[in-house]
Amino acid sequence: MSDACRVYRRIKTSLTQLYPHQLNGHQARHLHTLTGMIRWDSAE
């Protein structure tokens, strides 16, 4: 697994732990977008 994938997975796992229940489809899609934005911002 590349470093970028590891970082993405760590961010997504950390954000998922903040939710008290399992995410529905829309929430999962928004989480995916938020994770990508955080990873992209931290790369600079």
Residue-wise pLDDT tens digits, 1-44: 688 889 899 999 999 999 889 999 999 999 999 998 987 766 65
Nearest to 35 by CA among 21, 16, 19: 16
Task: Please tell me the predicted confidence (pLDDT) of residue 28.
Answer: 93
List of residues 6+ apart from 15 with CB closer than 8 A? 31, 34, 35, 38
Task: Please tell me the predicted confidence (pLDDT) of residue 40.
Answer: 75
Task: Please tell me the predicted confidence (pLDDT) of residue 44.
Answer: 58
Task: Please tell me the predicted confidence (pLDDT) of residue 26.
Answer: 94
Residue 15 identity: L
Task: Please tell me the predicted confidence (pLDDT) of residue 43.
Answer: 62
